[in-house]
Amino acid sequence: MGFDGSKIPPALFGSWKQVSGRYIDHETGEERPGLSKAPNGYIHFSRNGRMFNLTVDSARPRPAGATPTAAEAEALFRTLIGYTGFYSVEGDKVYFDLDVSWNEAWTGTRQVRTWRLEGDTLYISAEIINPMTGKPASHRLTFRRAEGPPG
């Protein structure tokens, strides 16, 4: 049984640039930026059923040399979220069946998200274990439809 693209609203297809991300800690109610106040990332929904997501902290420093030190590599890893897999949509739920992830704890899992589209703005939210703190949290992401290459 293959991917049935007819169940996907056509407006969802394509690339979306992340403009914000917030975590709300369930225990404390504290709200804070996800990776940074200005995340740098994209999510893409293809017509063949594959999705990609890659987001980094826009303020992460470059390594001092061509090869990061162990501490630099850890800092880079901790300011990155990336995964890919197949997706499906049922109403306001989107399901990501991940086959590759920056965090092997997510590889092979189904990630459930709630989504809504308002014009060229895509909102995705999830009730998750925050991968940065290990605590239960709500995650709220906002994306804008990505434009094509410059020029």
For residue range 96-151, list pLDDT tens digits in order: 999 999 989 899 999 999 999 999 999 999 988 777 678 888 889 999 999 877 65
Work out the angle at residue 140's Cα, subtended by the Cα atoms of residues 29 and 85, and round it to the nearest 5 degrees: 130
**CATH class label, 5-145:** mainly beta
Q: Are 136 and 127 in contact (CB under 8 A)?
A: yes
- Overall average pLDDT of the 62-87 stretch: 93
Question: Which one-letter DSSP state was computed for residue 101?
Answer: E
The position carrying tokens 């169940």 is 7
Pull the structure tokens for residue 13: 């297809």
pTM: 0.86
Pull the structure tokens for residue 7: 């169940």
H or E segment at 70?
Answer: helix 70-77
| Domain locations in the chain as residue ranges | 5-145
